[in-house]
Amino acid sequence: MWKRNFVFRADEAVPLPHTENELFHETDPALDSSGLQMDTYLSVWLQGEGDEQVPTAYTMMYVRTATLDPVKKVGFLQPLQARTHQIKMMLSGQQKVYLRDWLSKTFPQAWEESDEHFQAIFSD
């Protein structure tokens, strides 16, 4: 199975160079939010058929919100959402455009082999 993670700041159209695991691996769960300066992120997980390096078709997408205080290294990861209408509401138009362009240009064959339901996630 192929998988890839993109992490966006909630209000930005280009993902960070770090994955969810890299950003949140060394953090503790925040027990109390008082005094924290939380940044909001969207973590997008993409899955596809194929091997670990190259997908043959994109099959699933999951999105979750996350918050992190980068100074105190504490944060929250929300549950993953997989329903199309939830994902479409969570992602901004610019984030959808970035992801659609990345998916269709990086592995065009996998994009073409993906079903319409998957591709519809990226329409407005």
CB 94 within 8 A of CB 72: no
For residue range 69-110, what is the model confidence (pLDDT) as tens digits?
878 888 888 889 889 889 999 999 999 999 999 999 999 999
d(CA 44, CA 91): 9
**pLDDT over threshold 80, residue 22:** yes
Write out the two tokens for 72.
């105190």
CB 60 within 8 A of CB 43: no
Residue 89 is given by DSSP the state H
User: Looking at the whole model, is its pTM more than 0.85?
Assistant: yes
**pLDDT over threshold 80, residue 61:** yes
Q: CA–CA distance from 54 to each of 21, 69, 102 (Å)?
A: 21, 34, 14
The residue whose two tokens read 């990345």 is: 102
